[in-house]
A and B are shown apart, each in its own frame.
Chain A
Amino acid sequence: MALAEASLRELVAEHYDSLYRYAFRLSGSAADAEDLTQDAFGKAITRHAQLRDPTKARGWLFRILRNGYLHRVRDERRRKFVSLDSVGELPAEPPESPPDIDPARLQDVLNELDEPFRTPLILFYFEDFSYREIAEQMDLPIGTVMSRLARAKGYLRTRLTPPAADD
């Protein structure tokens, strides 16, 4: 059975904006973000029986959206991602007063990251997904999520904020 109309309206009203932002940060494109968001809700219409606990709708929708995104880019080989092998696990010293970050610049840096590092970073900074929820969405052990997150945060800092003067 398809999702009830009232439930669909409720899902869209409640989760569209955050899902769109997530899609935008994943894909880096407004057009792709709109498509991905609509596709995620479209799948939710037919797969809503999978959602046993309505309080977990948000995580469920994020997971659907990410799967849709991965499906799109799975065979895409054009993108060149940076290797995080050179990025240390330990965080750099934070600046005394962090500079404003241009959202477009942030997106450029996110686009440089490979998806396995980009996704936990977005989810971490996005609203309030816990490490466990991120691990569930990515089907990864929580330790792997934390490790990837630490490396991705390290990379983000090196690209977005100048090193502290006292380093």
Chain B
Amino acid sequence: MDRNLAIALLAFDRPGAASELPPAERAAFDAFVAADPALADYARRRAAEDATIVLAMAAVAVPSLAKSRALGRLLARRSATIWRQRLTAAGVAATVLLAGGLSLGVTHSLRPAVDGDAAAIVNERAIEAPEQAVRAFLAGRGLPAELPAELDYARYLEHGTQELQGRDVAVITFVIGQPDNRLDYVKVYVVTEAQFKFDGLRAAQSSLCTTTVLTDPGTPGVRWVLVHTSPTLEPFLKPQRTVTQAR
């Protein structure tokens, strides 16, 4: 340590406060200052000057009632804050409840009640006149009402929609009971060009099912994809009818 450094450090010394130098460095600094009478005198005068400024700096009279006045206002402000927070929370809760209630109410009002009679009538129609029921169903979905194959509605089981590759597709199912209690079936999927690309759509066969694709020149935007467990469609057709297969 040299004298200039000691003077610089004195400039940052803090009267009446803990030293910010590490203890070992502080001890070395104090020893250096003490060993130099002129520097020690300088340090003493610097400390006295700082102490005077500290006294002047702290000589601010706090108004006698300022603290109690402030506390009163702050307590009132605190109460207001708490009420505001409570009201905000209540408002949020009310909004959530209202929104939830409204949404529940709307949803509830939009949902129909289960009508057992309606379910029975739908099935009754399909049982009594399956061909008409299927025609109505297909027409209702904007599809050709006629199937390109003369399928025998005596084998009809059900109709509806089924998801095929993420698309909702109309499907009509026909079944034939076999002597060994096994069921052969054919499912007729009616697919449109709006739903699928027809490129590469062709007949296929796996170990359990056969896929036959039918077309109708009058409706080029529609294909009938028939998946059947029987080797051919013949068991499901009305007698003496033919079908046009896609190439």
A: residues with CB less than 8 A from B are 1-3, 5, 8-9, 12-13, 16-17, 20-21, 24-25, 30, 33-34, 37-38, 41-42, 45-46, 90-91, 93-103, 106, 122, 124-126, 128, 130-132, 146, 149-150, 153, 156-157, 160-161, 164
Contacts of B184 in A (CB 8 A): none
B20 contacts A42, C-beta separation under 8 Å: no
Q: How far is the CA of A165 from the CA of B189 in the complex (A)?
A: 112
Q: Which of under 10, 10 to 19, 20 to 34, or 35 or more describes the interface residues of B? A: 35 or more
Report the Cα distance A110→B62, complex, angstroms.
19
Task: Point out residues on B near A: beta carbons under 8 Å.
Answer: 7, 11-12, 14, 16-18, 20, 42, 45-46, 48-60, 62-63, 66-67, 69-71, 73-75, 77-78, 81-82, 85
**In the assembled complex, which residues on chain A have CB atoms less than 8 Å from the CB atom of B67?**
12-13, 16-17, 20
Q: Which residue of A lies closest to B66 (CB)?
A: A34
The answer to whether A16 touches B62, judged by C-beta atoms less than 8 angstroms apart, is yes
User: B41: nearest residue on chain A (CB-CB)?
Assistant: A96
Residue in B11, B48, B62, B74 whose CB lies within 8 Å of A21: B62
Dominant SS among interface residues on chain B: helix
Evaluate contact between B49 and A157: CB separation under 8 angstroms: yes
Show 17 A/B contacts (Cβ-Cβ < 8 Å), sorted by A: A2-B78, A3-B78, A5-B75, A5-B78, A16-B62, A20-B60, A21-B62, A25-B57, A90-B11, A91-B11, A99-B52, A101-B52, A101-B55, A106-B53, A156-B53, A157-B49, A160-B53
Output the least CB separation between A62 and chain B (Å): 14
Contact A94 B74 (CB under 8 A): no
> Given A124-B14, A131-B20, 14 more contacts at CB 8 Å?
A2-B85, A34-B70, A90-B7, A94-B48, A101-B55, A101-B56, A103-B57, A103-B60, A106-B53, A125-B50, A132-B20, A150-B11, A157-B49, A160-B53
* B216 CB to nearest A CB, Å: 73
